[in-house]
A and B are shown apart, each in its own frame.
Chain A
Amino acid sequence: MRRSNHLKYSTHIYQKNKLVLSPWLFLIPGIIFFLIYVIIPIFQSIWVSFYEWDGLGQAEWVGLANYVELLDDEYFYTSLKNNFIWLVLYLLAVPLGLFIALFLNQVVFGIRFYKSLFFFPFVISQVVVGLIFSWFYNPNFGLLAHIFISLGFEPIAILSDENLVTYGIIFAGLWPQVAYCMILYLTGLSNVSRDLMEAARLDGAKSWRMLWYVVLPQLRPATFISVVVTIIGALRSFDMVAIMTEGGPYGSSNVLAYYMFETALSEYGFRLGYGSAIATVLFFIMLIYITYFLWRLYKNEKGI
């Protein structure tokens, strides 16, 4: 069998080699770039996390010392806890996005324009969103302070309150994220099968049951992507924290992404090894979600 196949194809030996080599020619530029700037640095960072290094002098091998130190670092725990709060609360973006999408999924005059304007916050840089909300929360002249005063309350300085600050930043972060989930759901809704809806309606399904049993199952791909991008976004949160509080007051709004930056590259010292250890922890947390996503993708590819 083998032999006859071989003979059959040997006349097309050039053709065959061409098809073996060509993919690599197309792939090489992208792969080289991606290896240099993304894949190799991941391993280098993990490697650096076993050293004590100020970025200038000689790096000193310390084994697991950086990780041992992390176990006793209360700022690390605060950041980890905040990342967890981010993760949980940020996921509110998914139901909220669905809610707004359902509200906007109508045909009336100008609805497309409304949809675009609702999507607006996602297009703006998080730096700008952070500034807008710093101003919104400002206890002296912010919008929130005005609302509090007009209701007869003392204004609260949310961003200087250790217990509220993280929630304040997450609330700001939800604004663009809800817009993102909304657009995913709007696209999903426009593809919901009419036949199924009609059938369910004839069976007398009422709105909520219809949503739960007929519509949501069809929106599953949109939900999946919303959840994935929201989790990744929550764990990546850096810009908002940097702009609004720089992790303060007293590290109470810190997250791993910002704490890593602070340890490695700010006036608080250049502890690159320790920073890398924090980054490595964050990376492995993220790897759980990346693996899950790849597994789903794999099942999809194989048509399972």
Chain B
Amino acid sequence: MKIAEIATLLETGAPLGRIQGDRDLTTAYAGDMLSDVLALGGQPDVLLTGLVNPQVIRTAEMLDTACVVFLRGKAPTEQILSLAESCGVCVLTTGKEMYEACGLLYGAGLRPAQ
């Protein structure tokens, strides 16, 4: 799945931050505890969260996550977007809440990061 497809499914605005070429995205993680995604140890291509702070981008950087989706209409600050650009992370924002966003992406083939 490409970032453009995620953007269409979740009715996001235009991708922000930095898009990593034409990388194919196959796995995702959703949650508001960054400690939990780090504990997972896997490599989610997409991270969906209702948290909006710079550490979301840092966590994505550490895990080689290509795309962060901020849920529930929460807008990232310029500081967060600047960090995303320098870390090579794409940022999407959607008005959808976590349950619906996960359902849409799972239905389209995105699978849990193990």
- A and B held together in a complex: no
